[in-house]
Amino acid sequence: MALPQPRSWVLDIPLYQGGKSEIKGVNRVIKLSSNEAALGPSPKALTAYAAANTLHRYPQDGAADLRTAIAEIHGLDPARIICGVGSDEVLCLLCRAFAGPGDEVIHTEHAYSIYAIFAKSVGAKPVAVPETDLTANVDAILSAVTPRTRLVFLANPNNPTGTYISGAELNRLRAQLREDIVLVVDAAYAEFTAAADYDDGFALAATTPNTFVTRTFSKIYGLASLRLGWGTGPAEIIGAMERLRPPFNISAPALAAGAAAVRDVAHTAAAKAHNAKWMKIAVQRLRGLGFNLGGDSANFVLPEFPAQGPKSAAAADAYLQSRGIIVRRVSNYGLPNHLRITLGNDEDMTAVLDALAAFMEGRS
């Protein structure tokens, strides 16, 4: 008797690799591997979470109150916002709605690995496009387009490289893509970016019929464990995604915490200022140690180590773990000689930068 078999492409999907969180035998670790918020969540979000105690009731379906709060802060139409279990669910809904067997989904070569995973999950082919100096190359993306292309995922700023493309390049990309291709701007790290030429994509999402922007509460808002994200775009795209969204997909405590977090603009500003302070310090110190770095537009740094020898990325990672510090190996992103280091709190940043200095200088 034949046993149940998954669809032919399912077993070819790689498992997502999250950041390491434990070191055997170490009780208290410094975890800088998952780009989590250095200052934690807003106190107002914590209060709202604790007050959402009607656990015997279903949450509000459609997240109307949260969408109102998001729209209020970002100047958007709440009817053109969809919320999900992390921005990952929103990205997955886009793949489910607009791609399938025989289709192609474009992403850049060092982009967030979930794009390829979700493309494969619907039977589509992920197409990795070369970057230039760890930065998305608009011409390379356009050259990769075929009649089968349905979606283009652009992480801007990108994880794990920390680079971004300018508003002018973003608009050029949209203008030169076919009209039937959905351009998805994943702006999970947008709140950390201070570059004058950066464009968050909201204007394109509001004025074109084929651009969608995703955001998350897992980074600057410090609500990673609640799995909360959202996206905005044309009503027609939202309508298609809503037909696939599971009912009551977000818990009541997450909805309440998210609305409070997005409205606490003072806490968000403090988190951004903290990140800017430590980005400047980290870049200065790491360059002083001889490192080439990725971009500085998110909440992490990406130093490059020698390919071999005692100062390799693997050796540095082992050394940091020996001191109770966890950072992120990014070999699975095609960057075997780099380590991604989240910008943490003051104590953790002092510890990791001092440890890297000791490692590079050969001190025990």
**Is residue 89 pLDDT above 70, yes or no?**
yes
**Is residue 88 pLDDT above 90, yes or no?**
yes
Among the candidates 263, 279, 305, a domain finishes at 263
Provide the whole-model pTM: 0.94
3-state secondary structure of 325: strand
Q: Give the C-alpha separation, 122 to 360, whole Å.
A: 45
Helices assigned H by DSSP within the chain? 43-51, 64-74, 86-98, 114-121, 138-144, 167-176, 202-207, 235-242, 252-263, 265-288, 313-322, 346-360
Whole-Å CA distances, 300 to 161, 165, 171, 305: 9, 17, 26, 16
7 lies in a domain? no
115 lies in a domain? yes
4 lies in a domain? no
6 lies in a domain? no
Task: Return mean pLDDT, the chain.
Answer: 95
Question: Residue 301: what are its φ and ψ, rounded to 5°?
Answer: -120, 160
pLDDT at 178: 97
**Could you tell me the CATH number of the domain that includes residue 98?**
3.40.640.10
Same domain, 182 and 299: no
What does the pLDDT average to over 97-105? 97
2 lies in a domain? no
Among the candidates 238, 263, 288, a domain finishes at 263
Same domain, 284 and 246: no
Same domain, 52 and 199: yes
Same domain, 54 and 186: yes
Range of the domain at 101: 43-263
- With pLDDT > 70 as the criterion, what percentage of the chain qualifies? 99
Question: Does residue 192 contact residue 220 with C-beta atoms inside 8 Å?
Answer: yes
244 lies in a domain? yes
Same domain, 114 and 90: yes
Question: Does residue 92 contact residue 118 with C-beta atoms inside 8 Å?
Answer: yes
**Is residue 159 pLDDT above 70, yes or no?**
yes
pLDDT at 76: 98
Same domain, 219 and 284: no
Same domain, 205 and 353: no
Same domain, 71 and 193: yes
Model pLDDT for residues 217-256, shown as the tens digit of each residue: 999 999 999 999 999 999 999 999 999 999 999 999 999 9
DSSP codes joined into one string, 150-200: EEEEEESS-TTT-----HHHHHHHHHHS-TTSEEEEE-TTGGG---TT---
pLDDT at 112: 93
Domain count for the chain, please give it: 2
What does the pLDDT average to over 165-177? 98
Q: Tokens standing for 322?
A: 């020996």
Same domain, 123 and 215: yes
Among the candidates 231, 246, 263, a domain finishes at 263
Same domain, 174 and 92: yes
Confidence label for 14 from pLDDT (cuts 50, 70 and 90): confident
8 lies in a domain? no
Pairwise pLDDT comparison (9 vs 98), residue with the higher score: 98
Same domain, 124 and 211: yes
Same domain, 31 and 132: no
**Could you tell me the CATH number of the domain that includes residue 319?**
3.90.1150.10
Model pLDDT for residues 31-65, shown as the tens digit of each residue: 999 999 999 999 999 999 999 988 999 999 999 99
**Is residue 113 pLDDT above 90, yes or no?**
yes
